[in-house]
Structure 1
Amino acid sequence: MRPWRLLPTPTGTPFTFAYAVVLTVTSLIAVYADPALVHALHQGSSTDVAHLVHTPLTVLLASGLWTAGGILAPYTICFLLVLTALERRIGGARTAVVFLLGHVLATLATEVPVGLAVLAGHLPDSSLHRLDYGVSFGVATSIGALTGLLRPWLRWPVLALFGSLLVQDLLGLADPLTDWGHLIALVIGVGLWPLVRRWRTASAH
């Protein structure tokens, strides 16, 4: 195994490489730009219910341009390693589909119930404006999808380890909505196993 193949390259994994460049730029903006501007950008990119109602496509795309926690955050590192591995197996366009499906579906699965709960009077109106952005849902889906392409001796330990970490986060009750989103995203990725396996077979020919 050549160690450098673990990281994205412009020719080998163009989608992951280009996306990583974008995340690096936005992470630098988050660190060095005026805090008020950064807050405004994060607010404008948030996939909360209010934004999803008025500008769904804009915020679903914009929210994936930021990394919560910075460039060295665990999900950012997982982004580099997991999407690189996935793209080397199924190609850039298909990796983008996996990532986007997880990002969009997990977001809707967590935010739509919030909107319905507010309409029913079970949550305050302030719940419509929670700050929600980042690549973690797409990364969790990509991890789930990638495990379907690994050998069983590696697939099940990786899946069990990541799943247990997500459950631990959920039980900690620090951010239940996001934590549920991560679990949902992982399940979405596992559900994509038949598709990504067909894609890998097609890519091998």
Structure 2
Amino acid sequence: MVQPLVRKIVTYAEEVLIEGRREVPRPTRFAAAAAVIRSPWRGDKFTEDLKPAILSHATLLGELLVPRLMDLAGGAAAVEAYGKAAVVGADGEVEHASALIHTLRFGNMLREAVGGTSYLSFTNKRAGPGCSIDIPMTHIRESGTRSHFLTISFNIPDAPADDEIVIAIGAATAGRPHHRIGDRFEDMKEMGISSNNTVLKEG
């Protein structure tokens, strides 16, 4: 199997101390770790079966990124929200970006590291060098907790090149500072909506 050809690893972190002109109750840390890789499907006109490259890449990318993200976040126990993203260069398909993050071989590594049960929020798109890499996040266990509907954004000036894919994961150590809009479960209770109504529950 072809192993991932990693050109660079990029990490990003920020710590929020003041929001809305008020100090936050405790500093909130946002962190991301990304790998810039050569696309395993570069140069192909169309690849019907993406699975061989998924099998050879996804687990190794998780092993590469998850420990770095945990270090940036201050340890797995500190993580309250998480997400993932992939950006394919101009010569690739969005499906190529999707393939490497939408597999349990990748996502479960982050989920298991932090004891999460929620799905990992995601973005996958095609773009060029310097584009915004946006990682949406939700609470690691309580997906309806709106305080943890978050996004971490950063960019890599020289990536992705046309034949590359950027694979990224993100984490936050708390919800939005001074969050005060409640959560969807409160809305459901106020509106008399049954918890069995999965469509409205996910809205």
TM-score, with structure 2 as normaliser? 0.29
Q: Which has the larger share of strand?
A: 2
TM-score, with structure 1 as normaliser? 0.29
